[in-house]
């Protein structure tokens, strides 16, 4: 395996963004640069740009997340954007959803080490936990899949009138345009593209915001959710 480069010092912006959790952010960056690379969670070439491209790029997502809500980070991987978001927003109840064992093991270690009591790690795919996890106010995701496919996984996990926030790059507008038909079938009522992190990351992070109405996922997923809930209740009664 290619040897990882040395982790650069935290930029001044990191102190302002992470505040009293700055040292925890440094510890997380060190874990990503060491165990994260050794376990194949991030590429060694990402280490020199961990702060700007990963930690800060994800932390500024907090600008778009309402206060005191529940969040599910779908396909959390090494904890991006969920861990940086948790460090800057102790008011949120965050679930890190990830199907791969080696990743959930790493996430659980990070959550315990950093004392993130408001974060829960769940192993599974979005379609597997539908009806088993309580619906959330906000779903977050970063570099997981094209928007139409990502929405098919994330939108059904939302509460009525919830929203999905997907960190995207230059293709955000194009992806949104191509996904409109699929989003409509999923009960999406409004979409927008936002820029967050002005003055913190250059260029600012690009977010696609997808807002649902009273039927997240549309009719098909409402039936699937109800069936999963009935099965879960039946098992608890046994």
Element (H, E) at 230: helix 218-237
**pLDDT at residue 27 above 50?**
yes
Q: What is the mean pLDDT of residues 33-59?
A: 95
Question: pLDDT band for position 1 (50/70/90)?
Answer: very low
Provide the sign of the torsion angle of the four alpha carbons 74, 78, 80, 82, taken in this order.
Answer: positive
Count of other CB atoms within 10 angstroms of residue 146: 13
- Work out whether strand 158-168 and strand 205-212 pair parallel, antiparallel, or are unpaired: antiparallel
Instruction: Give the pLDDT confidence score for residue 144 in this predicted structure.
Output: 73
Instruction: Give the pLDDT confidence score for residue 215 in this predicted structure.
Output: 87
Higher pLDDT, 3 or 156: 156
Integer Rg of the chain from CA: 18
Question: pLDDT band for position 145 (50/70/90)?
Answer: confident
- Work out whether strand 119-123 and strand 93-98 pair parallel, antiparallel, or are unpaired: parallel
Mean of per-residue pLDDT scores for the chain = 92
Q: pLDDT tens digits, residue range 212-238?
A: 999 888 766 766 666 666 665 666 666
Q: pLDDT tens digits, residue range 177-208?
A: 999 999 999 999 999 999 999 999 999 999 99
Q: Read off the DSSP letter of residue 4.
A: P
Please say whether the beta carbons of 4 and 47 come within 8 A.
Answer: yes
Cα distance between residue 227 and residue 219, in whole Å: 13
**pLDDT at residue 112 above 80?**
yes
Higher pLDDT, 229 or 101: 101
Q: Residue 167: which of 197, 200, 127 has the closest Cα?
A: 197
Q: What pTM, to 2 d.p., does this model score?
A: 0.91
Question: pLDDT band for position 5 (50/70/90)?
Answer: confident
Question: pLDDT band for position 91 (50/70/90)?
Answer: very high
Please say whether the beta carbons of 156 and 183 come within 8 A.
Answer: no
**pLDDT at residue 3 above 80?**
no
Q: Which range, of 26-30, 59-63, 178-182, averages the lowest pLDDT?
A: 178-182
């Amino acid at each position: 395996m290619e040897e990882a480069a040395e982790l650069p010092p935290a930029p001044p912006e990191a102190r302002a963004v992470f505040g009293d959790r700055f040292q925890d952010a440094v510890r997380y960056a060190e874990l990503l640069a060491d165990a994260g690379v050794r376990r194949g969670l991030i590429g060694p070439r990402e280490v020199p740009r961990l702060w700007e491209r990963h930690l800060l790029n994800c932390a500024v997502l907090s600008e778009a997340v309402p206060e005191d809500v529940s969040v599910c980070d779908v396909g959390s991987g090494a904890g991006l954007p969920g861990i940086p978001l948790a460090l800057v927003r102790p008011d949120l109840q965050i679930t890190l959803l990830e199907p791969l064992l080696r990743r959930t093991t790493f996430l659980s270690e990070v959550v315990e080490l950093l004392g993130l009591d408001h974060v829960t790690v769940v192993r599974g795919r979005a379609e597997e936990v539908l009806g088993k996890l309580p619906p959330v106010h906000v779903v977050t995701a970063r570099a997981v899949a094209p928007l139409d496919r990502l929405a098919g996984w994330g939108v059904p996990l939302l509460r009525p009138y919830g929203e999905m926030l997907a960190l995207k790059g230059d293709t955000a507008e194009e992806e949104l345009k191509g996904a409109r038909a699929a989003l409509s079938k999923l009960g999406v009522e409004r979409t927008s593209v936002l820029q967050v992190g002005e003055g913190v990351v250059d260029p600012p992070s690009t977010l696609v915001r997808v807002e649902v109405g009273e039927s997240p996922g549309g009719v098909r997923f409402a039936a699937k959710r109800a069936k999963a809930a009935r099965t879960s209740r039946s098992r608890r009664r046994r």
